[in-house]
């Protein structure tokens, strides 16, 4: 007797037409039942924002992909809380066009989509291709290997995995590494320009290079040709600072 196929909800932050999302779906299509709910435009950097002041609309392509006029978090929230007629078993977000290393996870809509799945009780994975060379097939093969493994040896239900795949041909991958998040140097300065009427406009500058990027970090794994796999949790409390803060607070 074969076990029932897992039902996966796929999303991303680059929009429903993105190559990374198409690669993700293709990589998993024969391993699980897929439903795709993704933003109708690029929402990279959307972080965990939820749309509260306007209605959401969901359209559907001829291939059955849902596209929503909202953020990645909206997509996953909507999918799990009412849009779909079934509850997915897991959420996978990506394949993001670019790295989500270190501090990036707080800005990332891809990671947010995965975390929203987790907030709603599902295990979740965010996967990103760490570069601009566009070896999406490498990331596709990596998630395929990991998902096959996971179907045989499940992870605890509250797990969120943040995966970054080196942007190299698949043959050059050296394997998987469990990592912690590093962090970046301060980002590049904002880029100032002018619109056609001469009014100033600004582009947010590129993220900084890795600062805390030594052995054991996600930066280091990717730099050395490994697929970086970081388990995330979202208790942002700085527990080690609690006793000192308690001492510091005014007495009355
Ligand atoms: Mn993106």
How far apart are the CA of 173 and the centre of ligand 1, in A?
22
- Is position 2 within any domain? no
pLDDT of residue 159: 86
- Is position 86 within any domain? yes
Is 96:108 a contact under the CB 8 Å cutoff? yes
Number of domains in the chain: 1
- Is position 110 within any domain? yes
Is residue 79 helix, strand or coil? Answer: helix
What is the model's pTM?
0.94
- Is position 14 within any domain? yes
Q: Structural domain of residue 95, as residue ranges?
A: 7-248
**CA distances in angstroms from 9 to 149, 216, 233, 244, listed in the order given:** 18, 30, 20, 43
The candidate with the shortest Cα–Cα distance to 164, out of 212, 211, 96, is 96
pLDDT digits (tens, 9 = 90+) for 90-116: 999 999 999 999 999 999 999 999 999
Is 18:65 a contact under the CB 8 Å cutoff? no
- Listed in sequence order, the residues at least 6 apart from 55 whose beta carbon sits closer than 8 Å to its beta carbon are none
How far apart are the CA of 59 and the centre of ligand 1, in A?
21
How far apart are the CA of 49 and the centre of ligand 1, in A?
14
pLDDT of residue 203: 93
Q: Which residue has the tokens 């239900």?
A: 157
- Residues whose Cβ atom is located within 5 A of ion ligand 1: 13-14, 44, 96
- Is position 186 within any domain? yes
Q: What is the mean pLDDT of the chain?
A: 95
Phi–psi pair at 19, nearest 5 degrees: -65, -40
- Is position 57 within any domain? yes
- Is position 1 within any domain? no
CATH at residue 92 = 3.40.1210.10
Is the pLDDT at 153 greater than 60? The verdict is yes
């Amino acid at each position: 007797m074969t076990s029932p196929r897992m039902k996966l909800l796929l999303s991303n932050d680059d929009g429903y037409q993105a190559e990374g999302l198409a690669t993700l779906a293709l990589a998993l299509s024969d391993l699980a039942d897929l439903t795709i709910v993704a933003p109708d435009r690029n929402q990279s950097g959307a972080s965990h924002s939820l749309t509260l002041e306007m209605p959401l609309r969901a359209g559907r392509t001829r291939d059955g992909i849902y596209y929503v006029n909202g953020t990645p978090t909206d997509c996953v929230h909507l999918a799990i809380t009412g849009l779909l007629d079934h509850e997915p078993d897991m959420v996978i977000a990506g394949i993001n066009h670019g790295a989500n290393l270190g501090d990036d996870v707080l800005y990332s809509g891809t990671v947010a989509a995965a975390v929203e799945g987790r907030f709603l009780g599902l295990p979740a994975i965010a996967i990103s291709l760490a570069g601009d060379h566009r070896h999406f097939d490498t990331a596709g093969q990596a998630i395929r290997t990991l998902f096959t493994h996971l179907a045989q040896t499940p992870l605890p239900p509250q797990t969120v995995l943040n995966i970054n795949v080196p942007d190299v041909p698949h043959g050059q991958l050296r394997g998987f590494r469990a990592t912690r998040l590093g962090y970046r140097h301060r980002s590049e300065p904002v880029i100032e320009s002018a619109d056609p009427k001469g009014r100033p406009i600004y582009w947010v500058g590129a993220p900084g290079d890795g600062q805390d990027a030594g052995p054991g970090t996600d930066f280091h794994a990717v730099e050395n040709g490994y697929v970086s796999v970081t388990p995330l949790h979202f208790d942002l409390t700085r527990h080690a600072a609690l006793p000192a803060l308690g001492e510091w607070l005014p007495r009355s």
